[in-house]
């Protein structure tokens, strides 16, 4: 069915305005973003094909520039628009912390960390340095590779914490497997870091693991 042949009330943009964005499917939301289809493919069919090609919204948003440009119907303009939209979303998540909101909510903090770490194909260990009111000083990615006692060095973490004059920290790392469950190695390194930072009077507020769809908080699990 051509775009103009859809009943007005069932067109994605009109549905969004009348019923709200939450009522639309992934295909409909992507169709609104794309705006138009190709000469031979209506926008709804194009959106459906792209989601199938990239295996859903997550795959589409995590695709690199070359992958997007290689997708039929995207082109440089739509590819740039998609990358810009993703960057705006990440900046929106960062904005609340940049203006001084305390990082005391594991859900909000987890959402922020998910935007930072979810796209990596290898494990990345990061640290959020916080002041004495738990406001963000800086986000920093420290170690790359397998997160265990051999790759995460407490001495280096302590040096970075003191450099930023942090009063508290939140650790985070991703699981490329997609499963946001702590391993024994995760627990061991968390305990080692907590003990090392205790010597310089810096609190570890949480350690968050980022998976495909979920995040896991050590603090909420009572593992700290």
Strand pairing of 203-210 and 215-217? antiparallel
- Bridge partners for 204 per DSSP: 169
Is 29 within the bounds of a domain?
A: yes
Residues 34 and 61 in one domain: yes
Domain finish residue from 59, 90, 121: 90
Q: What is the pLDDT of residue 91?
A: 76
Q: What is the pLDDT of residue 62?
A: 76
Is 95 within the bounds of a domain?
A: no
Residues 107 and 217 in one domain: yes
Q: What is the pLDDT of residue 79?
A: 87
Q: What is the pLDDT of residue 132?
A: 93
- Alpha-carbon distance 172 to 137, whole Å? 15
Residues 42 and 62 in one domain: yes
Q: What is the pLDDT of residue 9?
A: 62
Q: Enumerate residues 6+ apart whose C-beta is below 8 A from 171.
A: 125, 126, 127, 128, 190, 193, 204, 206, 207, 208
Residues 212 and 153 in one domain: yes
Q: What is the pLDDT of residue 141?
A: 93
Residues 191 and 81 in one domain: no
Q: What is the pLDDT of residue 114?
A: 86
What count of other Cβ atoms lies within 10 Å of the Cβ of residue 9? 9
Q: Enumerate residues 6+ apart whose C-beta is below 8 A from 40.
A: none
Per-residue pLDDT of the chain (224 residues; tens, 9 = 90+): 455 555 566 788 888 898 888 888 889 989 998 888 888 888 889 999 999 998 888 788 778 888 888 888 888 888 888 888 878 877 776 666 665 677 777 788 888 898 888 768 789 999 999 999 999 999 999 998 876 645 889 999 999 999 999 999 999 999 988 888 999 999 999 999 999 999 999 999 999 999 877 899 999 999 98
User: Which stretch of DSSP H or E encloses residue 174?
Assistant: strand 168-174
Is 9 within the bounds of a domain?
A: yes
**Angle, alpha carbons 187-173-121 (nearest 5°):** 125
Residues 38 and 149 in one domain: no
Structural contact between residues 204 and 163, judged by C-beta atoms closer than 8 angstroms: no
Q: What is the pLDDT of residue 204?
A: 97
User: What CATH number did the domain enclosing 174 receive?
Assistant: 3.40.140.10
The b-or-e profile of 124-160 (16+ CB within 10 A means b, else e) is bbbbbbbeeebbbbebeebbeeebeeeebbbeebbee
Q: What is the pLDDT of residue 42?
A: 87
Q: What is the pLDDT of residue 83?
A: 84
Helix (H, G, I), strand (E, B) or coil at 152: coil
- Bridge partners for 128 per DSSP: 139, 170
Structural contact between residues 114 and 215, judged by C-beta atoms closer than 8 angstroms: yes
Q: What is the pLDDT of residue 96?
A: 60
Supply the pTM of this predicted model.
0.66
Structural contact between residues 171 and 124, judged by C-beta atoms closer than 8 angstroms: no
Q: What is the pLDDT of residue 106?
A: 79
The conformational region for residue 222 under phi > 0 = left, psi -120 to 50 = alpha, else beta, is left
Q: What is the pLDDT of residue 142?
A: 93
Q: Which domain holds residue 19?
A: 3-90
């Amino acid at each position: 069915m051509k775009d103009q042949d859809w009943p007005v009330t069932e067109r994605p943009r009109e549905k969004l305005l009348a019923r709200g964005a939450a009522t639309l499917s992934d295909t409909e939301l992507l169709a609104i973003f794309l705006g138009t289809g190709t000469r031979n493919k209506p926008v709804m069919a194009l959106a459906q094909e792209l989601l199938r090609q990239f295996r859903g919204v997550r795959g589409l948003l995590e695709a690199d520039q070359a992958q997007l440009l290689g997708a039929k119907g995207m082109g440089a303009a739509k590819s740039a628009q998609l990358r810009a939209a993703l960057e705006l979303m990440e900046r929106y998540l960062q904005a609340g912390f940049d203006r001084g909101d305390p990082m005391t909510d594991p859900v909000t903090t987890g959402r922020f960390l998910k935007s930072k770490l979810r796209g990596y194909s290898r494990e990345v260990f990061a640290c959020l340095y916080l002041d004495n009111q738990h406001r963000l000083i800086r986000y920093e990615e420290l170690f790359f590779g397998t997160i265990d006692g051999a790759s995460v060095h407490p001495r280096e973490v302590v040096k970075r914490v003191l450099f930023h004059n942090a009063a508290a920290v939140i650790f985070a790392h991703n699981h490329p497997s997609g499963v946001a469950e702590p391993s024994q190695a995760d627990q061991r390194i968390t305990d080692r870091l907590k003990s090392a930072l205790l010597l310089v009077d810096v609190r570890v507020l949480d350690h968050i693991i980022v998976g495909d769809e979920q995040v896991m908080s050590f603090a909420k699990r009572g593992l700290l």
